[in-house]
Amino acid sequence: MAEDEAPDGIRQKLVDTKQRWAREGRLLTGEHAPPEQRLPPSQRLVRDWPVLDLGVQPAVAEETFRLDVEGLVERPVTLDWRWLMELEQAERVNDIHCVTQWSRYDNRWGGIAVSTLLELVRPKSQARFVEFGAYDGYTTNLSLEDFARPENILAHSWEGERLTRQHGGPLRVVVPHLYFWKSTKWVKRITFLAQNKPGFWEQRGYHDRGDPWMEERYG
């Protein structure tokens, strides 16, 4: 078995557990709060950065990395690592919130601002949604409005160092205003769509949008 694979039984057990959480409404308090309240309802602060995945952490070398940006765009592209690093680089500092109830403040990211990507590919007027695919087979979805926010970034660095494999390196999506399952690790494909296309967890009982302040954990 390759080092980036997990036994099917372990993976299925993790999926079953999270689906049960959705059915049971685990961690829900029924509270809502405005974003001005920095810590969303029922979240707890952590200083470390917990690692959550389905037992698969694909090893993607920079030399073989490719990011396909396709669908309803004027200029579909396949970005290799060299091209990615030649794009305008950006930094963002933001808080992150996981659906499993932890939050971490003031994370410093380096990478490509989503606005830079959008300028490069130019979404067509019909584009309303975005689907993300990862090297481990994971998918999730966002509205184009949520994806295009100025704080969002395609991150290759965290706290001044290259993003580690366990946290989604070499490249991950960071969408800090939504629960962190929406911030795809090991991103491989970004597809612009006219219609919404629910992803892996959205098909398994999780909320389509995932706003932490509205406690949109489950659908």
In a domain, residue 114? The reply is yes
* Alpha carbon separation from 112 to 18, 151, 153, 172, 194 (Å, rounded): 31, 11, 6, 10, 24
Residue matched to tokens 């597809």: 191
CATH number assigned to the domain comprising residue 124:
3.90.420.10
List the chain pLDDT tens, one digit each, 219 residues.
334 545 566 678 888 888 888 888 877 888 899 989 999 999 999 999 998 777 789 999 999 999 999 999 999 999 999 999 999 999 999 999 999 999 999 999 999 999 999 999 999 999 999 999 999 999 999 999 999 999 999 999 999 999 999 999 999 999 999 999 999 999 999 999 999 999 999 999 999 999 999 999 998
Domain contains 177:
yes
Task: Give residue for tokens 């001044």.
Answer: 160
Residues spanned by the domain of 68: 8-214
In the block, tokens 């037992």 appear at 55
What is the number of other CB atoms lying within 10 angstroms of the CB of residue 201? 25
Q: Within a domain: residue 80?
A: yes
Asked if residue 71 belongs to a domain, the reply is yes
The tally of CA atoms less than 13 A away on the side-chain side of residue 185 is 22
pLDDT at position 3 = 42
- Is 1 inside a domain boundary? no
Structure tokens at 181: 């399952």
Q: What are phi and psi of 10, to 5 degrees?
A: -65, -45
Q: Is the pTM of this model over 0.85?
A: yes
Sign, CA torsion 99/101/102/105: positive
- Six-digit token string for 64: 């073989």
How many structural domains comprise the chain? Answer: 1
Distance between CA atoms of residues 168 and 92, nearest Å: 17
32, part of any domain: yes
The structure tokens listed for 137 are 């087979």
Evaluate whether residue 3 is within a structural domain: no
Quote the pLDDT of residue 7.
Answer: 55
> What was the pLDDT predicted at 9?
67
Decide if 2 is inside a domain: no
